[in-house]
Amino acid sequence: MTTPGSSEIPLLVIGGPTGVGKSAAAINLAEGLEARGIPSLILSADSRQVFRGFDIGTDKVSAEIRAHRRHAGIDIADARTPFTLYDWLEDARRELSVAQGIGIVVGGTGLYQRALLRGFLRGGARPADPELRARLEGELASDGRAPLDAQLAALHPAAAHAVAAASSRRLIRTLEITMLGGDPTTEEESPWSAATRFVLLDAPDLVAYRTALSARIDRQFAAGLVREAQILAESLPQETPALSGIGYAEALALAAGTLDETQARSTAATRTWAYARRQRTWYRKETLNATLDPHDAATPAALLTLALELVEGGR
């Protein structure tokens, strides 16, 4: 398993709502760095683009562009198999551990970006069992705290000392972890060791932005989204979560005759706008170094300056 700290390259994280121009900005940045002799790795942080075959509806960077400039984090999973945050982190850390120069982490799945920067660790060190917890809560109610303190002290003295003055709830959770073979003293986060910057790309003109999102839906349907969805549905179980994603559900409904084309496009556009709003809400809670307008002529230079500062600071 690749763990945080095993890579020392700096990271420029580019987040933002869907369809705002993040991928184009990342590619432009990579080209600007390359012109200065600085290598980079573009790492996609998009929870839908990880799945092979889901191309048009997720607006993946084209295969032609990726053949010229590799993007990690794309087409790394089969939609038949559950894919978690920690699966993405494992792949991302492995890719970054062998990359040179700077990592450009671009996408709209904010949780992926937060987890990479903060260094979320796989939850196996702190397992949970609701039934065991309920039993311990019952013992607390019937026998008091002392027996539980003594039990934890026998199993993990350091953990018992750490929670000696803590709440009963924390004691129970600590004992639960210990009894399940975990280590309650294990850190849950190990922040990225090299320098990082977190930039938000967001369009200030929301009317124009929403119009652009609707136009993208139209392009996706015109590019063959319905056929792509049908091919995927023929090979995947009906309950595959990715098939219910924005665009794919509407495309399949159009193919089945439950929506006409106007309804399918309109529904997909409405869902896309709602998704974009959720993304913008998410990023407002993050600690950002800059918020840039993707349509501002000064934005490419601003991103390049941030990247160069990161690279120079690491030398």
Model confidence pLDDT, tens digit, residues 33-74: 999 999 999 999 999 999 999 999 999 999 999 999 999 999
Asked if residue 157 has pLDDT above 80, the reply is yes
Model confidence pLDDT, tens digit, residues 67-112: 999 999 999 999 999 898 889 999 999 999 999 999 999 999 999 9
Dihedral sign for Cα 131, 137, 140, 143, please: negative
Candidates 69, 65, 109; CA nearest to 89 is 109
Please report where in the chains the tokens 């700290």 appear, as a residue: 5
Q: From residue 130, how far is each of 116, 181, 236 by CA, in Å?
A: 28, 15, 32
pTM assigned to the model: 0.80
Name the pLDDT band for 255 (thresholds 50, 70, 90).
Answer: very high
Name the pLDDT band for 119 (thresholds 50, 70, 90).
Answer: confident
Query: What are the tokens at 64?
Result: 């032609």
The dihedral formed by the CA atoms of 56, 61, 63 and 66, expressed in degrees to the nearest 10: -160
Model confidence pLDDT, tens digit, residues 166-220: 899 999 999 998 998 878 877 667 899 999 999 999 999 999 999 999 999 999 9
Determine the Cα–Cα distance for residues 173 and 180; give it in Å rounded to an integer.
11
Determine the Cα–Cα distance for residues 159 and 141; give it in Å rounded to an integer.
22
Query: What are the tokens at 155?
Result: 């199993």
Asked if residue 314 has pLDDT above 70, the reply is no
Please report where in the chains the tokens 């303190």 appear, as a residue: 149
Asked if residue 122 has pLDDT above 70, the reply is no
Name the pLDDT band for 4 (thresholds 50, 70, 90).
Answer: low
Query: What are the tokens at 233?
Result: 């549905």
Candidates 229, 205, 2, 223; CA nearest to 97 is 2
What are the chain's domains?
11-121+190-313 (3.40.50.300), 124-179 (no CATH)
Name the pLDDT band for 123 (thresholds 50, 70, 90).
Answer: low
Determine the Cα–Cα distance for residues 40 and 31; give it in Å rounded to an integer.
9
Cα end-to-end span (Å), the chain: 27
What mean pLDDT do residues 127-143 have? 91
Asked if residue 2 has pLDDT above 70, the reply is no
Determine the Cα–Cα distance for residues 60 and 75; give it in Å rounded to an integer.
10
- Calculate the CA 47 to chain-centre distance: 6
